[in-house]
Amino acid sequence: MKMDQKPALLIIDMINDFNFTHGEILSQKTSTIMYSILNLKDYFYKKNWPVIYINDHYKLWKADLESLIQHCSNERSKHIIDKIAPRAEDYFLIKPKHSAFYGTALDTLLQELKVDVLVLTGIAGNICVLFTANDAYMREYSLYVPKDCTASNHDEDNIYALTMMKEVLKANIEPSKIIYDL
């Protein structure tokens, strides 16, 4: 990252009900990556950089964090949500589709915050994270997608998505410890 750049941490779809095929497996993988994401959050707080949650709205069509958490909480998700739910000072947006940019105020928020570097984390790596990365690249954001902060139903799909983001989108996909030198 260059001296005059400003990053934001994006946390994608971590308020999740895991209510889909392979949901249980993804929930387990998410339990693992969660700690790397939480460490990144702490680092972003320390640096006074923005932390932005952007999350599926589960057909509630409701900009209402409370209803969303209630809807998503279950056996597969509760231990994750308890740890990762946004704090009062975090930004929190809902998205209607896969990309965090489609039908959301994300780009407006990032411009207001003068952010030009995105650190993408969350699930699933080969769907919502990848769609978001593509859209970020078209909008000229520099990208970090730390490989220990994203997971997909199948590991090979996660690896392939990471490889695509590296090669097509020039994303840095090194593990999150690289962020601590930014």
155 binds a second copy (CB under 8 A): no
Using DSSP's 3-state secondary structure scheme, residue 103 falls into coil
- The CA-based angle 22-23-24, given to 5 degrees, is 90
Q: How near is the Cβ of 139 to a second copy at its closest, in Å?
A: 8
Contacts of 140 (CB under 8 A, 6+ apart): 116
The DSSP bridge partners found for residue 9 are 51, 119
Q: Is 64 in the site for a second copy (CB under 8 A)?
A: yes
Residue selected from 17, 71, 81, 107 as contacting a second copy according to rule CB under 8 A: 107
**Binding-site size, a second copy (CB under 8 A):** 37
Task: Tell me which of 95, 100, 119, 151 binds a second copy, using CB under 8 A.
Answer: 95
Segment lying near a second copy (by CB under 8 A), choices 75-83, 85-93, 141-149, 171-179: 85-93
**HSE, side-chain direction, 13 A CA sphere, residue 177:** 0
Q: Give whole-number Cα distances, 165 to 86, 129, 134, in Å.
A: 27, 10, 8
In angstroms, what is the minimal distance from the CB of 145 to a second copy? 16
Instruction: Return residues touching a second copy (CB under 8 A).
Output: 57, 61-66, 91-99, 102-109, 111, 126-127, 131, 134-135, 137-138, 140, 157, 160, 164, 168
